[in-house]
Amino acid sequence: MSAAIDALTIVAVSAGMFFFLAGTVGLLRFPDTLTRLHALTKADNLGLGLVVLGLLPRAAGAVGALKLICVWLLVLVGSAAVSQLIARAVRAEGPSA
């Protein structure tokens, strides 16, 4: 059982790291604000979600696990809202590099 949990942690956290890396590469390489936002939010949300998923079995009890999920949900709300706001600001000002 513990080997399965270890495997879950390793796979999920590694996959999460991959998405973080992909998001960072996208942020650096994509040509304009909207595509950069797309790279960042998708990858960070999924990346953090996978990291949280991988850490869940290691959390200190149910409350600890719940806190981890809350952190992920708050980041989801925050980054989704902020990227919407940035995108609107970009649309209002016109596209720029």
Partner 1 sequence: MTTWQGFDIVLAVLVLPLAVWTIAARQTFVAVVSFVAYGLLLALIWVRLSAPDVALAVAAIGSGLSGVLLLGTAARLRDVEERAEAARPSVAVRATAAVLSVAVAAGIAAALLFLSDPAPTLAPLAAADLSRTGVGNPVTAVLMAYRAMDTLLEKIVLMLALIAVWSLAPDRVWGGRPGPRHRADPHGMLVFLARLLPPVGVVVGIYLLWVSADEPGGAFQGSTILAAMWLLAMLAGVADTPPVGGRRLRVALISGPAIFLLVGLGGLWLGDAFLAYPVAWAKALIVLIEIGMLLTVSLTLGLLVAGPPERSAQQ
Secondary structure class of 97 (helix, strand, coil): coil
C-beta of 50: minimal distance to partner 1 in Å?
20
Main-chain phi, psi angles of 32, to 5 degrees:
-135, 175
Q: Which is nearer to partner 1, 4 or 23 (CB)?
A: 23
C-beta of 39: minimal distance to partner 1 in Å?
19
Interface ranges with partner 1 (CB under 8 A) = 74, 77, 81, 84-85, 88
C-beta of 13: minimal distance to partner 1 in Å?
13
Q: Which is nearer to partner 1, 11 or 82 (CB)?
A: 82
Q: Which is nearer to partner 1, 21 or 81 (CB)?
A: 81
Query: What is the spatial distance between Cα 96 and Cα 33, in angstroms, rounded to a whole number?
Result: 7
Q: Which residue type sits at 5?
A: I
* Nearest alpha-carbon partner for 18 in 38, 47, 41, 42: 47
